Structure 1
């Protein structure tokens, strides 16, 4: 079954999140996705990969916090799934992030989708404490740590980027064992990452052809079977697509 969602760059100048969420649900969409960039450095050398000139669109500087906004969206809807598209995991403290994810899942009654990525803007990532050259290793470490926090009364973890002694962290997510973890990007090893510690893949539709996505689905299924996972439990969400001029 094909489900269609909406992604919106919500800012202080855009439609407000409550009005948006109500409208998206009323129109019958499956989900509402919000991106994040906590900060944008004034001075940066990194080029924006989404435009030919490499200039960052102004809207990226103005984004609201996705978890606060999604909590508000969840409170005024009943069926709409609320999702990060994407959360920049290396830029967040995993202990606080685990609580934010679980809280939105609780408020929504189990309607949260955890879309994640490792980021592309080096200057932003470094200011927020990310190990940019090893950001996917850091992301994996954070996700494994959060799984401990979500599934155990007293959780502890020791990894290369995240470590903490036994502690309590509540609430726990409504969805068991946790909300779906959906990895963004088109990196070479992304499908292996999905099978190892994720629940879905979210490639950008404007970066891939239909044939490439079809081939990736077959490869994802193969890797899942080899790892002893049910291929049907792993989803593919096409994140953004170029508009059809004919429509």
Structure 2
């Protein structure tokens, strides 16, 4: 199983210098990919909690630097790592502009972009972008349709409720087909999980971006079963399921003491986090994205990178 790292986008990040340092350090340490995430704003009284039943939003989440700008910076200073979004919220973007942005970064990076997409769940951000929770799935499907159209050959003709393209050239094109991965899709994965989301992954995506929430063998079995079901559905749609990837997301929160038996995955001591990395591998993950952005205890990016390097060095033994 490969390891990826989410780039620093949070509070106390020096965007002028830290992004370049993080991207270079992660690639040199042996990480296979670098990822960004999206949060449009931080409401003082969010409509939904960060996680059920009532987990507050991390203070570090008050800042989330623009994911595509951050990915572009990483593209310029790296050579080999894949560059992904995990995830972009379709309803926060106009589809054609997003397709052009991703294609442009793919050209800058020499063809290393992975487009991780999601429907989103935070009402505050959706409303700020002129969308509602009811729009989420429809806007995501429309965005995927636009990707297929404009990343294909010119001249492009496309029509949807929001997008009309009449016999037009849409450039630049990606270096090659940009893999599109989708988040959500299983009941154990929180708000975004649903049979509809699972079906969308199976029918339209090149891969799945689930969260691992349950530690240990139970979590591995649960995730593996959901992944098997997605690939079974993909085969039923006539797709080659063997070409699909499962890239698990691990949102890490360190604790000073051993977390109890009822803990969620990726919450605990470093040793417990290493156990969760092993669990993701046991579940059949092709890759695991480690996110250290949630650590309010980190006072600077250097601390984050030191921890990331330590995890990368210890991971083979897990």
With the length of structure 2 as denominator, give the TM-score of the two structures.
0.71
Residue 17 of structure 1 corresponds to 19
CA distance in 2 between counterparts of 1:86 and 1:116 reads: 5
Residue 143 (1) aligns with residue 167 (2): no
Question: Can you give the 5+ residue segments of structure 2 that lack an aligned partner in the other structure?
Answer: 186-192, 251-264, 275-318
For residues 156 and 58 of structure 1, do their structure 2 counterparts lie closer, same or farther at Cα, with a shift above 3 Å needed?
farther
CA distance in 1 between counterparts of 2:221 and 2:231 reads: 16
Indicate conservation of the 8 Å contact 1:5/1:31, yes or no. Answer: yes
Residue 203 of structure 1 corresponds to 210
Quote the offset at 1:42 in angstroms. 4.1
- Point out the more displaced range, 113-122 or 39-48: 39-48
Residue 242 of structure 1 corresponds to 266
* TM-superposition CA deviations, 1:134-170 (whole Å, max 9, x none): 3012101111112101112122322244444333221
CA distance in 2 between counterparts of 1:39 and 1:237 reads: 26
Indicate conservation of the 8 Å contact 1:87/1:115, yes or no. Answer: yes
CA distance in 1 between counterparts of 2:202 and 2:266 reads: 28
Higher RCO (Cα < 8 Å, 6 or more apart): 2
Q: Which has the larger radius of gyration?
A: 2
For residues 163 and 54 of structure 1, do their structure 2 counterparts lie closer, same or farther at Cα, with a shift above 3 Å needed?
farther
Quote the offset at 1:243 in angstroms. 4.8
> What secondary structure sits across from 2:213 in the alignment?
helix
CA distance in 1 between counterparts of 2:95 and 2:151 reads: 11
Residue 184 of structure 1 corresponds to 183
Matches within 5 A, 1:118-129: 118-129=119-130
Indicate conservation of the 8 Å contact 1:142/1:162, yes or no. Answer: no
> What secondary structure sits across from 2:100 in the alignment?
helix
CA distance in 2 between counterparts of 1:151 and 1:35 reads: 26
With the length of structure 1 as denominator, give the TM-score of the two structures.
0.90
Indicate conservation of the 8 Å contact 1:35/1:85, yes or no. Answer: yes
> What secondary structure sits across from 2:2 in the alignment?
coil
Indicate conservation of the 8 Å contact 2:20/2:77, yes or no. Answer: yes
Matches within 5 A, 1:214-233: 214-233=224-243
CA distance in 1 between counterparts of 2:6 and 2:145 reads: 27
Residue 277 of structure 2 corresponds to none
Quote the offset at 1:212 in angstroms. 1.3
> What secondary structure sits across from 1:171 in the alignment?
coil
Indicate conservation of the 8 Å contact 1:113/1:180, yes or no. Answer: yes
Matches within 5 A, 1:34-113: 34-49=36-51, 53-113=54-114
- Point out the more displaced range, 213-222 or 67-76: 213-222
Question: Can you give the 5+ residue segments of structure 1 that lack an aligned partner in the other structure?
Answer: none
Runs ≥4 residues deviating over 4 A? none
Indicate conservation of the 8 Å contact 1:9/1:35, yes or no. Answer: no
Indicate conservation of the 8 Å contact 1:140/1:197, yes or no. Answer: no
